[in-house]
């Protein structure tokens, strides 16, 4: 009986030990599972936070591109006005000048006043500082900034970026390669053709015409310096380099001889259509009935702006 009692006791203690071991293992697994769940939830929250930051940053990026692009375009005009020449005659071209001033605030290494605290580098540094406050490491690589035109009244600012977003705790990271594009309306900008050809004395601000009946409203169109789409005309951006070839995004105005005389500038017997007036193309022209100014002419051959403006030759 003593041996049997000892065996029973041994079996009992062994069973208890195994049960305790199972309880400990299950408790550890449950604890570890809870910890892993908590960690995964924390990572998920962090990723969601970073996703939200990236979306806000992309919205801010578009706003920054618009602001910097607008000022950069004005700066190119200012540079041309200060040097009284087209941008391609000043040791650069429109694309290079725009890229330089957009990123660095300079043209040909000359600091442009409008770009103070408004370069693209300034705005991206602000974003980096904001990211740092939320424990995010943000880096930008600008591969290029270009300005193009795909419609008459708008220009496209495109910035090729690589964005590196990393959590300071290495929870997550992203590398984003993206082209950001923002449109800028050219209304309100000065026409480079007037700016250079009139020595800055008579400029013309680009505004889309409100005239619909040119037979009766031509004088209103001329006196206000309005612009109209025409596929024979150069686009707004082409005018920065005195490129007077035709464009599907072309716009044109009619030069007002009275404004030239008021500024003591000489007038010409060329067609009043701006890219013809300031160009070299030879056209056949005539005085028209709707405009009595003796120095105002419109062409009728080989181009025919007389009919385009619903005008009638005086003879």
In a domain, 28, yes or no: no
pLDDT of residue 111: 97
Q: Are residues 234 and 272 in the same domain?
A: yes
Do 249 and 269 reside in the same domain of the chain? yes
Q: How far is CA 228 from CA 13, 98, 280, 283, 309, in A?
A: 101, 26, 21, 20, 10
- State which of 185, 203, 219 marks the end of a domain: 185
Rounded CA gap, 262 and 257, in Å?
Answer: 9
Sequence-separated (6 or more) residues with CB below 8 Å from residue 122? 105
For residue 206, what pLDDT is reported? Answer: 98
The verdict on 161 and 61 lying in the same domain is yes
The reported pLDDT for the residue numbered 17 is 53
SS (H, E, C) the chain: CHHHHHHHHHHHHHHHHHHHHHHHHHHHHHHHHHHHHHHHHHHHHHHHHHHHHHHHHHHHHHHHHHHHHHHHHHHHHHHHHHHCCCHHHCCCCHHHHHHHHHHHCEECCEECHHHCCCCHHHHHHHHHHHHHHCCEEEEEEEEEEEEEEEECCEEEEEEEEEEEEEECCCCCEEEEEEEEEEEEECCCCECHHHHHHCCCCCCCECCECCCCCHHHHHHHHHHCCCEEECCCCCCCHHHHHCCCCCCCCCEEEECCHHHHHHCCCCCCCCCCEHHHHCCCCCCEEECECCCCCCCCCEEEECCCHHHHCCCCECC
Domain hosting 118: range is 36-185
160 torsion bin: left (phi>0), alpha (psi -120 to 50), beta (else): beta
- CA-nearest of 199, 186, 188, 244 to 85 is 199
Structure tokens at 274: 């701006």
Residue 279: the pLDDT is 96
Give the tokens for residue 176.
């984003």
Tell me which of 168, 185, 202 is where a domain ends.
Answer: 185
In this structure, are 174 and 246 located in the same domain? no
pTM: 0.82
Q: Are strands 251-253 and 227-229 parallel, antiparallel or unpaired?
A: antiparallel
pLDDT tens sequence for the chain (315 residues): 455 555 555 555 565 555 555 544 545 444 444 444 555 555 566 566 677 777 778 888 889 999 999 999 999 999 999 999 999 999 999 999 999 999 999 999 999 999 999 999 999 998 889 888 888 888 889 999 999 999 999 999 999 999 888 888 777 777 889 899 999 999 999 999 999 999 989 999 999 999 999 989 999 999 999 999 999 999 999 999 999 999 999 999 999 999 999 999 999 999 999 999 999 999 999 999 999 999 999 999 999 999 999 999 997
**Among the three residues 157, 185, 213, which one is the final residue of a domain in this structure?**
185
Please give the pLDDT value at position 31: 46
Question: Does residue 315 belong to any structural domain of this protein?
Answer: no
Task: For residue 19, tell me if it sits in a domain.
Answer: no
58 and 181 inside one domain: yes
Token readout for 139 is 């880096």
Residue 36: its pLDDT value, please?
43
Q: Is residue 314 part of a domain?
A: no
Q: In total, how many domains does the chain have?
A: 2
Output the pLDDT for position 232. 96
């Amino acid at each position: 009986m003593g041996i049997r009692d000892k065996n029973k006791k041994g079996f009992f203690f062994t069973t208890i030990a195994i049960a305790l071991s199972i309880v400990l293992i299950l408790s550890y697994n449950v604890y570890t599972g809870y910890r892993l769940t908590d960690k995964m939830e924390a990572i998920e929250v962090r990723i969601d936070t970073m996703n939200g930051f990236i979306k806000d940053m992309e919205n801010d990026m578009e706003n920054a591109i618009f602001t910097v692009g607008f000022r950069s375009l004005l700066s190119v005009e200012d540079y041309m006005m200060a040097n009284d020449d087209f941008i391609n005659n000043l040791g650069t071209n429109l694309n290079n000048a725009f890229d330089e001033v957009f990123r660095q605030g300079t043209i040909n290494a000359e600091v442009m006043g409008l770009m103070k605290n408004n370069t693209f580098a300034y705005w991206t540094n602000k974003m980096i500082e904001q990211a740092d406050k939320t424990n995010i490491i943000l880096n930008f690589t600008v591969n290029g900034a270009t300005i193009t035109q795909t419609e008459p009244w708008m220009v496209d600012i495109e910035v090729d970026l690589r964005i590196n977003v990393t959590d300071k705790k290495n929870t997550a990271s992203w590398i984003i390669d993206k082209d950001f594009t923002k449109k800028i309306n050219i209304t309100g900008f000065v026409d480079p053709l007037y700016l250079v050809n009139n020595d800055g004395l008579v400029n013309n601000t680009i505004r889309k015409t409100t005239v619909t009946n040119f037979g009766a409203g031509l004088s209103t169109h001329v006196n206000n310096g309005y612009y109209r789409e025409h596929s024979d005309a150069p686009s707004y951006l082409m005018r920065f380099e005195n490129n007077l070839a035709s464009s599907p995004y072309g716009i044109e105005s009619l030069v007002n001889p009275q404004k030239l005389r008021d500024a003591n500038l000489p007038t010409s017997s060329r067609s009043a259509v701006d890219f013809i007036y300031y160009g070299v193309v030879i056209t056949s022209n005539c005085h028209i009935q709707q405009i009595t100014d003796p120095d105002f002419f419109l062409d009728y051959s080989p181009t025919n702006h007389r009919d385009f403006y619903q005008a009638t030759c005086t003879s």
